[in-house]
Amino acid sequence: MTGRERAAPSASGRLLSVLAAFDHEHPALSLTDIGRRAGLSLTTAHRLVAALTGWGALERDANGLYHVGLRLWELAALAPRGLALRQTALPYLEDLYEATHENVQLAVRDGAEVVYTEWISGRSSVGVRIQVGARWPLHATGVGLALLAHAEPAVQDACCGGPLAAYTPYTITDPARLRRVLAEVRRTGVAVSSRQVTEDALSVAAPVRGADGSVVAAVSLVVPWAEARVPALIPAVRLAARGISRALGWRPTPRTDPHA
């Protein structure tokens, strides 16, 4: 038994380790790859993969490689911060795209990471390293900064207290600077992330609120850094965020939206 198996000896833990073997860099895996990435013996991996395939959580293609199955997609569609949020937000995201023809993104927070739930690609805009389902640290993206600024103090302390990964020379890696940026996001109601993930892109993001006023998501535009006109982008992003928030049942008050 491997160290990873000892760390998760239960049957449920081993099943989850098989599913966790898949990610955006590894969407298709052989049985051997699954066993290796999950830290399981080939015999154990074979048994668990067979059970997951029979249930529909995994699918096997003609080349013998396994993929995430439609049954998991059906379950994921029930998540209130997944497909349901996307369906509510999509008309406003499309309006934002039609007004700018730039990359439009919708994201939620999961722990110390941002997870992208929707992305509309601009016709001739800057390339981005983002796709639906992708995860990034909160400090390095516009949507992440918008979400982190309104997260619980414990979440902010954990992010500022841990190592901050750098993706370009412009990524925020100093905790004191990150705290100043978060305070500015709360003051202005928008987050601007300049060249933090790629050196040619700038993101403007705004928080999306649920019916109780809490921030449940963030929406952003990603534009070429060299052509960015931030003051002109802010009203459009704010308008989209407020439209989604109202569709989710939020009603503005001076406390929840001082920038209304």
142-152 residue pLDDT tens: 999 999 999 99
Residues 103 and 134 grouped into a single domain: yes
pLDDT in tens, 22-32: 887 888 999 99
Q: Is residue 40 located within the same domain as residue 161?
A: no
Domain that holds residue 201: 83-247
pTM for the predicted model, two decimal places: 0.71
Domain final residue, candidates 59, 75, 91: 75
Q: Is residue 242 part of a domain?
A: yes
Taking each helix axis from N to C end, the angle separating 175-188 and 153-161, rounded to the nearest 10 degrees, works out to 150
Please check whether residues 94 and 52 belong to one and the same domain: no
Report H helices in 70-174.
70-76, 83-100, 142-149, 153-161
The CATH number of the domain holding residue 70 is: 1.10.10.10
What is the reported pLDDT for 148?
Answer: 97
Helices 31-38, 11-20: inter-axial angle, 10-degree rounding: 120
Please say which residue of 25, 53, 75 terminates a domain. Answer: 75
Question: In terms of domains, do 97 and 166 share one?
Answer: yes
User: Which ranges of the chain have pLDDT less than 50?
Assistant: 1-8, 260
Total number of domains in the chain: 2
Indicate which CATH number applies to the domain containing 87.
3.30.450.40
